[in-house]
């Protein structure tokens, strides 16, 4: 599902305009980005948790040439699935929400 499709579904479910739904989706995503940028975890109960983690610098190998390649330390976002979402996807009886 793309962001536009999500906004369309929200607009239909809440009986609001597509513009209002799009603004809501943008606001939610901006809040998640801001929190992650500041190093905060974002938890949506039943859905999951986004966390920023630091990775160490390391040396890897180019699979084609075998030459070493330095990979710098960086921050990455990790998502851990919540129980309700996991059950919904794997065929459990609970739905998200």
- For the chain, domain boundaries: 1-38, 41-97
Q: Evaluate if residue 65 carries a pLDDT over 70.
A: yes
The SS3 of residue 16 is coil
| Confidence at residue 44, expressed as pLDDT on a 0 to 100 scale | 95
pLDDT at 92: 67
Fold of 41-97: HU Protein; Chain A (4.10.520)
Q: Which of 42, 49, 45 is nearest to 84 (CA)?
A: 45
pTM here? 0.75
The DSSP code for 45 is T
pLDDT digits (tens, 9 = 90+) for 4-51: 999 999 999 999 999 999 999 999 999 999 999 999 999 999 999 999
Closest CA to 52 of 39, 61, 42: 39
């Amino acid at each position: 599902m793309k962001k536009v499709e999500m906004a369309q579904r929200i607009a239909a479910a809440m009986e609001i305009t597509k513009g209002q739904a799009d603004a809501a989706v943008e606001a939610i995503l901006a809040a998640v980005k801001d929190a992650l940028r500041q190093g905060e975890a974002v938890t949506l109960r039943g859905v999951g948790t986004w966390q920023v983690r630091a990775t160490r610098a390391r040396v890897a190998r180019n699979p084609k040439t075998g030459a070493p390649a330095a990979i710098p330390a960086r921050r990455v976002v990790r998502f851990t699935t919540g129980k309700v979402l996991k059950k919904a996807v794997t065929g459990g009886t609970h739905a998200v929400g």
